[in-house]
Homo-oligomer: A and B are copies of this chain.
Amino acid sequence: MHSVSLHAIPDIPEIKPGDELPKILGDAIEACGLSLKDGDVLTSAHKIFSKAEGRIVNLTTVTPSQDAKRYGEELNKDPRKVEVILQESRRVVRHFKRPTQHEGTIICEHKLGFISANAAVDESNSGQDQTLILLPEDPDTSARHMQAALSKRFNVRIGFAITDTFGRPWRLGQVNVAVGLSGIPATIKEQGNTDAHGRVLNVTEPAFADELAAASGLVISKAGQTPVVLFRGLSWNFTESSAQNLIRSQKEDMFR
């Protein structure tokens, strides 16, 4: 029987800029009586990485551009926040404010290529008022550093994914998706494989990293301060990887 277990790592402290995150995570894993084994995968909400890397913007330091003021007025959004969102973005894909919304939404293509609301700029869990949290500068590299440090400390080969919480077109509610990867495949191609009846599965390519990210949402909650999840029992092969491999190219995308 193929079985997988998920464990939310408890007692990770509040993270501050400059904190040595690999040591903090490793200590938390040991403190709860777990260790790491070959083949384990860890996921983490991006926020602890963003905070450790100082990717925090104090709104009082932001001067909004004319564009930001225009969107701010139309969407009832703080123009300084809009300015930060625009600075994080390559372009605006859609913007709207529904009558039921206090504050509108800007769907952006982030500089890293991810398409999401407000360029993944976040207000909650910042630990301070008047501050916004951005994605890590380079989440793949952040994941790689963490993966390397934990692999060394526990003398194992593991995978690591950094996640963010995204809404979806067409479907309500949010799911976590991978924004940074180390060691684990973004997708697993089943093309060319045949099903149990010998028929070629010509389009099947499960988004393994996004399956992990979404699953992590089952044991963490935003309010609960358990951003890190340990997965044990997964079937995967170690691979050089990047969350960029999850991004559909504009040419192949019918919805931007």
The answer to whether A219 and B2 touch across the interface, beta carbons within 8 angstroms, is yes
> Is A24 positioned at the interface, with any CB of B under 8 Å from its CB?
no
The answer to whether B253 and A197 touch across the interface, beta carbons within 8 angstroms, is no
The answer to whether A248 and B174 touch across the interface, beta carbons within 8 angstroms, is no
User: Chain B residue with minimal CB distance to A250?
Assistant: B170
The answer to whether B199 and A125 touch across the interface, beta carbons within 8 angstroms, is yes
Instruction: Tell me which residues across on chain B come within 8 A of A177, comparing CB atoms.
Output: 171
The answer to whether B222 and A190 touch across the interface, beta carbons within 8 angstroms, is yes
Q: Interface residue tally of chain A, by bracket?
A: 35 or more
User: Chain B residue with minimal CB distance to A33?
Assistant: B1
Q: Complex formed: what's the CA distance from A197 to B174 in Å?
A: 21
Residues 27-55 of chain A, each 1 if its beta carbon lies under 8 Å from chain B, else 0:
00000100000000000000000000000
Q: Which residues of A contact B (CB under 8 A)?
A: 1-10, 14, 32, 94, 96, 98, 102, 107, 114-115, 123-129, 165, 168-177, 186-187, 190, 193-197, 199, 201-202, 204-208, 210-212, 214-215, 217-226, 231, 234, 245-248, 252-256
